[in-house]
């Protein structure tokens, strides 16, 4: 971490702690502690750089004064569990304490300040700590647990202020410029959550595009927020209401696609090690033959393909790509599937944005694009044709052409809702209440059912064209990132946790969520709903959805009938039947 304008302090996995002078890059780092000790898992410095604090894997908390010898001074007794440390703007130190609590300290004397801070949900070690800019609030949480916030205007008499549950936190940081103590939360599900801690409002989710699940930090003036993920991806965000990433993650490793009505599949392949390998393909799902290939390098398609979608007839493929090799800008190229000829090309934005949610109209003439400020409608040759009306503070999270004459847009923010626009006039036609913020939308091929996926597996449903509200379903995959709806109403849903589940036409889960070994991109049904296509980093996988076919495959593998004991062990309480006997 940055200690002052001229030095950086860092810890290594082998237990070493060192200080590096930035004014002389060739100078070797100064070791504060040799390697071989208990690895440091938490590190922070006072705002003036006078003291640093470390917390180790075994719970040893040490304050370091680099101006004196010896520099290190232990604080308290080792906890036996990993210790977190954090300085406030006033110089007080907060640390993990025994029993899943927190403790305030005077780092200069090593004396405790006030009583132990007990969290709203006790028992788990508090590994995440954050102070508000004025030092008046402290937020703490175990990994994936409930966040507790204390008012500590008087550190000797702290008082619980509020708690925030069900956010699966992996990192916390207060916005230093916020007057309402806005807390940013990096979620296990890959989302950035924004919570006003002095209000009882539900945290608002910002799609994290895989770049939020392990670390975050604000610029000193609160103008920018940097987030990072275990995938090696990072993103830079504007730290304002309705913020969206303004720079691309540093790594991309996924593919995306959509099926067309004629049984073909459009796929955007992404490769980090060789930009020239980025391409889009249209594949005949019956024969496996590649119908059309669109290379990503060139004036027509831009630099780096991130997605490809077919129109309803499968005659036009729309390729989404970054405009330049530095991943700035968003372009859409319209290509005739039969001839491979470009029929239209538009550039939506020149900022460094990772990916704009979008959808293609049934006739392949239009794209509806979510930009940071608006939802925009673009024609393949006429360019921008409409900007949809929305309220101040609205955050559009997903769009979907649900019928020939309607476009559905989900909004988060102060008033989460589903807005339906007439695709002739682009005027607002109706607004529908939603049970939670939606981040994905999908409609079945016959335009009879629209499904919206949200946090905690929410599946909101509407019958078209009368917009009757249907019973809400639940998909046990966490935040629903991608959806597909079959003609019979079955739903294929994937979560940010890289799990996928199939729900039958009654909303019952078929089997248990299936975890895949890589990030999941878009999903689609094929073969009249008898197969599922799931785009992952390792390619597009095809799964047969007929349970009878599963049984036949299992019988082929087993080669015999399960006996009653094996049935009880592997099937459970279901009544025994001698499958594979015929």
Q: What is the pLDDT of residues 60-113, one digit of tens each?
A: 999 998 777 767 889 988 888 888 999 998 888 889 887 789 999 999 889 999
Q: What is the pLDDT of residue 105?
A: 93
Nearest to 256 by CA among 264, 267, 248: 267
Cβ neighbours for 432, distance < 8 A, ≥ 6 positions apart: 417, 418, 419, 420, 462, 467, 469
* Residues 168-196, mean pLDDT to the nearest whole number: 85
Structure tokens at 471: 């019973």
What is the per-residue pLDDT across 451-466, written as a single tens digit (0 to 9) for each? 999 888 999 999 998 9
Angle at 354 between CA 336 and CA 8, to 5 degrees: 155
SS3 assignment, position 459: strand
Mean pLDDT of the residues in the chain: 79
Find, among 4, 28, 6, the residue nearest to 16 by Cα. Answer: 28
568 by DSSP, 3-state: which? helix
Instruction: Please say whether the beta carbons of 66 and 4 come within 8 A.
Output: no
- Residue 341 pLDDT > 90: no
How far is C-alpha 452 from the chain's CA centre?
17
The fraction of the chain above a pLDDT of 90, given in percent, is 25
CA distance 517 to 211: 17
- How far apart, in whole angstroms, are the C-alpha atoms of residue 213 and residue 348? 28
Exposure of 477 in the CB half-sphere (CA atoms within 13 A): 30
Separation of alpha carbons 317 and 308, rounded Å: 7
* pLDDT tens string 412-436: 877 889 999 999 899 999 999 998 8
On the question of pLDDT at 407 being above 80, the answer is yes
Residue 242 neighbours by CB distance under 10 Å: 17
* β-strands 169-174, 438-443 pairing: unpaired
Q: What is the mean pLDDT of residues 404-408?
A: 89
- Burial of residue 144 (number of CB atoms within 10 Å: 0-12, 13-18, 19+): middle
Sign of CA dihedral 249, 130, 142, 11: positive
What DSSP letter does each residue of 96-149 carry, written as one string? EETTTEEEEEETTTTEEEEEEE--SS-SS---EEEE-TTS-EEEEE-TTS-EEE
Note the helical H segments in 408-560: 547-558
Q: What is the pLDDT of residues 271-300, one digit of tens each?
A: 344 444 456 666 665 555 666 666 654 445
- 174 vs 235, more confident: 174
- 125 contacts 100 by C-beta, under 8 angstroms: yes
Q: Is the pLDDT of residue 329 over 80?
A: no
For the stretch 184-194, what's the b/e string if a residue is b when 16 or more beta carbons lie within 10 angstroms of its beta carbon? bbbbbbbbbbb
- Phi/psi of residue 521, each to 5°? -95, -155
pLDDT tens for each residue of 231-287: 556 666 765 444 444 333 332 333 334 455 555 555 554 434 444 445 666 666 555
Gap between the Cα atoms of 238 and 99, Å rounded? 38
């Amino acid at each position: 971490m940055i200690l002052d304008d001229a030095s950086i302090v860092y810890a290594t996995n082998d237990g070493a702690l060192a200080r590096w002078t930035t004014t002389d890059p060739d100078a070797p780092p100064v070791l504060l502690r040799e390697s071989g000790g208990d690895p440091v898992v938490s590190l922070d410095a006072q705002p003036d750089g006078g003291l640093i604090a470390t917390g180790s894997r075994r719970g040893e908390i040490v304050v370091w004064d680099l101006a004196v010898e010896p520099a290190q001074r232990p604080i308290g007794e080792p906890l036996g569990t990993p210790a977190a440390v954090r300085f406030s703007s006033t110089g007080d130190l907060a640390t993990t304490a025994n029993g899943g609590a927190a403790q305030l300290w005077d780092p200069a004397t090593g004396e405790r300040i006030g009583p132990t801070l007990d969290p709203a949900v006790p028992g788990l070690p508090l590994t995440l700590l954050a102070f508000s800019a004025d030092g008046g609030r402290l937020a703490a949480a175990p990994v994936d647990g409930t966040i507790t916030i204390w008012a500590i205007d008087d550190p000797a008499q702290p008082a619980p202020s509020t708690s925030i549950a069900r956010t699966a936190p992996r990192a916390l940081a207060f916005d230093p410029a916020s007057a309402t103590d806005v807390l940013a939360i990096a979620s296990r599900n890959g989302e950035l959550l924004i919570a006003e801690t002095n209000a009882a409002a539900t945290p608002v989710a910002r799609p994290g595009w895989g770049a939020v699940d392990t670390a975050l930090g604000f610029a000193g003036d609160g103008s920018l927020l940097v987030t990072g993920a275990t995938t090696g991806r990072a993103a830079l965000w504007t730290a304002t209401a309705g913020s969206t990433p303004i720079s691309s993650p540093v790594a991309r490793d996924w593919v995306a696609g959509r099926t067309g009505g004629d049984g073909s599949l459009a796929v955007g392949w992404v490769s980090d090690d060789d930009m020239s390998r980025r391409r889009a393909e249209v594949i005949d799902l019956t024969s496996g033959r590649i119908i059309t290939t669109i290379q990503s390098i060139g004036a027509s398609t831009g630099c780096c393909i991130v997605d490809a979608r077919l129109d309803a007839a499968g005659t036009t493929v729309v390729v989404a790509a970054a405009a330049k090799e530095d991943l700035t800008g968003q372009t859409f190229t319209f290509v005739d599937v039969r001839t491979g000829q470009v029929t239209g090309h538009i550039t939506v934005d020149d900022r460094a944005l990772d990916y704009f949610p979008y959808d293609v109209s049934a006739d392949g003439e239009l794209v509806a694009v979510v930009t940071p400020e608006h939802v925009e409608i673009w024609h393949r040759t006429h360019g921008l044709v409409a900007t949809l009306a929305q309220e101040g503070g609205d955050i559009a999270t997903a769009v979907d052409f649900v019928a020939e004459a309607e476009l559905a847009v989900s909004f988060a923010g102060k008033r989460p809702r589903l807005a339906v626009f007439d695709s002739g006039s682009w005027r607002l036609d109706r607004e529908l209440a939603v049970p939670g913020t939606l981040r994905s939308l999908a409609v079945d091929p016959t335009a009879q059912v629209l499904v919206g996926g949200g946090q905690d597996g929410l599946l909101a449903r509407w019958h078209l064209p009368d917009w009757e509200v249907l019973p809400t379903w639940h998909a046990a995959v966490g935040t629903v990132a991608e959806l597909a709806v079959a003609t019979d109403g079955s739903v294929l849903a994937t979560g940010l946790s890289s799990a996928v589940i199939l729900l039958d036409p009654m909303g019952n889960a078929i089997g248990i969520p299936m975890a895949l070994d890589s990030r999941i991109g878009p999903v689609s049904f094929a073969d009249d709903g008898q197969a599922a296509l799931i785009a992952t980093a390792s390619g597009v996988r095809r799964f047969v959805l007929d349970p009878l076919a599963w049984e036949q495959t299992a019988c082929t593998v087993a080669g015999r009938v399960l006996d009653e004991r094996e049935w009880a062990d592997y099937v459970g309480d279901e009544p025994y039947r001698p499958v594979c006997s015929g």
